[in-house]
Amino acid sequence: MSKKSLVIVESPTKAKTIKGFLAGSFKIISSMGHIIDLPKNKLGVDIERGFIPTYKVIKGREKIAQKIKKEAKDASKVFLATDPDREGEAIAWHIKNLVDVKDSKKEFLRVVFHEITKSAIKEAFSHPSSLDLRKVEAQQARRILDRIVGYFLSPFLWRKVCRGLSAGRVQSVALKFIVDREKEIQEFIPQKYYLLEAIFEREGLRFKARLVKEKNKKITLEDKEKAEEIKDLILGKEFLVSKVKKTVSLRKPQPPFITSSLQQEGFRQFKYSSSKTMLIAQRLYEGIEVKEEGLTGLITYMRTDSFHVSPLAKKQAKTFIEENYSKDYLAEKEYQFKSKGIIQAAHEAIRPTNIERVPEKIEESLSKEEFSLYSLIWKRFLACFMKEAQIENTQINLNFEDYTFLATGNRILFDGFLKIYPEKVKEEPLPDLKEGELLKCVEVKLQEKETQPPPRFNDASLVRTLEEKGIGRPSTYASIIYTLARRNYVRRQKGSFIPTDLGIKVTELLNEFFPNILDEKFTAKMEEALDYVEKGEILWVKVLEGFYPQFKENIESAEKKVKKTVELAGRICDKCGKEMVIRYSKKGKFISCSDYPRCKNAYPLTTGVKCPQCKEGELVERRNRRGQLFYGCSRFPKCRYTTSKLP
């Protein structure tokens, strides 16, 4: 009786695909990610004895664990085909430990592939290797460090601020970005300046030039009187065309989508939140009922940080361009796209599984949102193999006395990839002028402007920043945002994140006592150390030994120095006569009697603005079911006045 071979992968979709590629008797099971982890209800790390972890089957994963055990019993070979990254290696190792019952005959083989194509998988299975224990150890160090940081800092916050709060290597830094930005915005002092534009006409074409120089020196107009003076001076005067400069620039298409860029473009183009984009992408990946094709996976895996594309897909894209857009649109050679952050390259880039599946052809089978996102992915991918766009930039200098005005124009000479990918290029035509010509200024526009503070973070810019700094992973970007909102650290206003009082308080506290963890470089340094572990240059425990003593000291000193956060409310309790204080709850600040729990008197924190309707109560910050902020009268339900903006 021939014994079967067992193959373990992470995702069920992958299992399905691989099945078609493997001949013979292979049983394929998907683990659905990690099945073993540290226990949830306690630290699970014996720090004193050298950071020894306690591993457990994750709650809710017992069935899968049992299934794997059972199937492995009857198998002589177990192929560990989890993802080719640190986490995948750890999953494989956990599974091996789970089924390894002193059965010396059972063979555990590690197979690694970076794309799910027939050739790649055949190749991987014909050259299996063994587990890379250094990778596993690097993952273990990462996991334990995150556990220690999270499970020490969170309880610290419970004791000092409010129960139920959380902190961690990733979320606390993300929150700090948002809090720091808010401070910058508050401290920003807008500067008034004036924009002076001269308008010219030539052969029916009107164009504008803005004042840039005075006596050949850069100038910004801050003085209104001077601006008016120049305005009056130049109107109707003859200007000299002193310089005409034309350059042609080539614009390259952007790399194919990875998780972070997909989330950014999803937000930019359709205003989808990170989680919404991921939800739609997941549906496209798992498969859609397509007419005449049945259940079809339309895109490759959507949680990835790699620009890698399988050779076959490349070839098909190139052929598609030649056949549908002519050879002129095909890039002469392949672009090399460089990754920005710390990458693990376990998967391909996000692309359509078959470029022949043109969005419009399958539109009927898709919802509106699925169609939008699929079209975007399809176009972005195809654009990667198309020629650069050629754009002619024109700069014209026009002089009158001491003043130099600059007109800029753009013209698309060849659209290239812009033919399909929606990237904005403003085309502004300028007339054909020659140096030495004279032109009359027919109109002058003077605009008062203000310098703008930096913008608040939104889904797109936060994910971009996290990725650039190597903080968080493709599978977690969306959940980081969700956590910050769920803890009431930030709220969303028209897509932008604003920190709450609670979020600011927590960040200030952590930043004072744990500056290294709140430092955006902390993760980068950790990753560097993990690299050394993977190369075998240091032991995994050293990473933790290098971190923990200082951390422990910080915790102890913070514990002593920080009292439970209370501020005086500046008012006396009308029930017991003691001082009232401002406390934090998960919902935000409120006024409480300092003698709690003996006196339970409490009031909402008012804004100090009288209710315009009843003139007795004051307005109070409230939130509706969706968590959006509004103001209501403190005498509710007697007075039902509400408003979304403070009068």
Partner DNA sequence: CAGTGAGCGAGCTTCCGCTTGACTT
Residues in region 289-318 near DNA by CB under 7 A:
301, 303
127, 449, 575, 600: which one contacts DNA (CB under 7 A)?
600
Least Å distance, CB 164 to DNA, is 4
270, 339, 603, 614: which one contacts DNA (CB under 7 A)?
603
Identity of the residue, 406 or 599, whose beta carbon is nearer to DNA in the bound complex: 599
Identity of the residue, 179 or 396, whose beta carbon is nearer to DNA in the bound complex: 179
Total Cβ atoms within 10 A of residue 106: 18
Q: How far apart are CA 342 and CA 433, in angstroms?
A: 49
Binding mask 56-75 for DNA (x = CB under 7 A): --x-----------------
- Can you spell out the DSSP letters for 573-613? -TTT-PEEEEEEETTEEEEEETTTTT---EEEPEEEEEPTT
Binding mask 161-200 for DNA (x = CB under 7 A): -xxxxxxxxxxx----------------------------
Identity of the residue, 296 or 344, whose beta carbon is nearer to DNA in the bound complex: 344
Three-state SS string over 281-337 comes to HHHHHHCEEECCCEEECCECCCCCCCCCCCHHHHHHHHHHHHHHHCHHHECCCCCCC
23, 42, 225, 292: which one contacts DNA (CB under 7 A)?
42
Report the Cα–Cα distance between both ends of the chain, in Å, rounded: 83
Identity of the residue, 87 or 182, whose beta carbon is nearer to DNA in the bound complex: 87
147, 160, 231, 492: which one contacts DNA (CB under 7 A)?
147
25, 32, 59, 401: which one contacts DNA (CB under 7 A)?
32
Per-residue DSSP letter, 498? E
Binding mask 391-420 for DNA (x = CB under 7 A): ------------------------------
Size of the site for DNA (CB under 7 A): 87
**Applying CB under 7 A, which part among 93-101, 153-161, 395-403, 444-452 lies near DNA?**
153-161
Q: Which residues contact 607 (CB under 8 A, 6 or more apart)?
A: 618, 619, 620, 621, 631, 646
**Applying CB under 7 A, which part among 355-363, 390-398, 404-412, 600-608 lies near DNA?**
600-608
Binding mask 481-510 for DNA (x = CB under 7 A): --x---------------------------
Q: How far apart are CA 358 and CA 535, in angstroms?
A: 44
Residues between 70 and 109 that touch DNA (CB under 7 A): 83, 85-87
Asked if residue 450 lies in contact with residue 192, where contact means CB atoms within 8 angstroms, the answer is yes
Identity of the residue, 339 or 344, whose beta carbon is nearer to DNA in the bound complex: 344
Identity of the residue, 557 or 628, whose beta carbon is nearer to DNA in the bound complex: 628
Residue that the structure tokens 């979020």 belong to:
503
Total Cβ atoms within 10 A of residue 412: 14
What's the gap between Cα 530 and its chain centre?
Answer: 23
55, 337, 414, 641: which one contacts DNA (CB under 7 A)?
641
Least Å distance, CB 567 to DNA, is 13
Least Å distance, CB 40 to DNA, is 5
Least Å distance, CB 407 to DNA, is 36
Q: Is 136 exposed, middle or buried (0-12, 13-18, 19+ CB in 10 A)?
A: buried
Cis bond upstream, residue 637 (ω within 30): yes
Identity of the residue, 86 or 387, whose beta carbon is nearer to DNA in the bound complex: 86
- Cα diameter, the chain: 100
What's the gap between Cα 396 and its chain centre?
Answer: 40
Residues between 458 and 477 that touch DNA (CB under 7 A): 472-476
Marked catalytic residue, from 301, 329, 374, 489:
301
Q: What are phi and psi of 359, to 5 degrees?
A: -50, -50
Tell me the sheet residues that pair with 403: 214, 400
Residues between 604 and 633 that touch DNA (CB under 7 A): 604-605, 620, 622-626, 628, 630, 632-633
Q: Does 370 bind DNA (CB under 7 A)?
A: no
21, 26, 27, 34: which one contacts DNA (CB under 7 A)?
34
Least Å distance, CB 509 to DNA, is 15
28, 29, 38, 377: which one contacts DNA (CB under 7 A)?
38
Q: 527 in helix, strand or coil?
A: helix
Task: Tell me, yes or no, if 301 is annotated catalytic.
Answer: yes
Identity of the residue, 383 or 619, whose beta carbon is nearer to DNA in the bound complex: 619
The dihedral of CA 478, 484, 486, 492: what is its sign? Answer: negative
What's the gap between Cα 351 and its chain centre?
Answer: 19
Residue that the structure tokens 């209800």 belong to:
41
Residues between 543 and 582 that touch DNA (CB under 7 A): none
Asked if residue 524 lies in contact with residue 533, where contact means CB atoms within 8 angstroms, the answer is no
Identity of the residue, 128 or 588, whose beta carbon is nearer to DNA in the bound complex: 588
Per-residue DSSP letter, 567? E
Tell me the sheet residues that pair with 410: 393, 428
Query: Angle 133-160/548-561 helices, nearest 10 degrees?
Result: 0
2, 40, 126, 218: which one contacts DNA (CB under 7 A)?
40
Identity of the residue, 3 or 159, whose beta carbon is nearer to DNA in the bound complex: 159
202, 226, 243, 587: which one contacts DNA (CB under 7 A)?
587
Identity of the residue, 384 or 619, whose beta carbon is nearer to DNA in the bound complex: 619
Least Å distance, CB 98 to DNA, is 15
294, 597, 608, 647: which one contacts DNA (CB under 7 A)?
597
117, 282, 353, 565: which one contacts DNA (CB under 7 A)?
282
Closest CA to 379 of 250, 254, 251, 249: 254
Residues between 426 and 455 that touch DNA (CB under 7 A): none
Least Å distance, CB 256 to DNA, is 18
Tell me the sheet residues that pair with 265: none
Helix (H) or strand (E) holding 46: strand 45-46
Least Å distance, CB 353 to DNA, is 14
Residues between 5 and 24 that touch DNA (CB under 7 A): 10-14
Asked if residue 262 lies in contact with residue 274, where contact means CB atoms within 8 angstroms, the answer is no
**And the tokens for 463?**
């994910």
Residue that the structure tokens 């299975």 belong to:
125
Closest CA to 108 of 116, 99, 121: 99
Q: How far apart are CA 486 and CA 502, in angstroms?
A: 12
Q: Which residues are catalytic?
A: 301
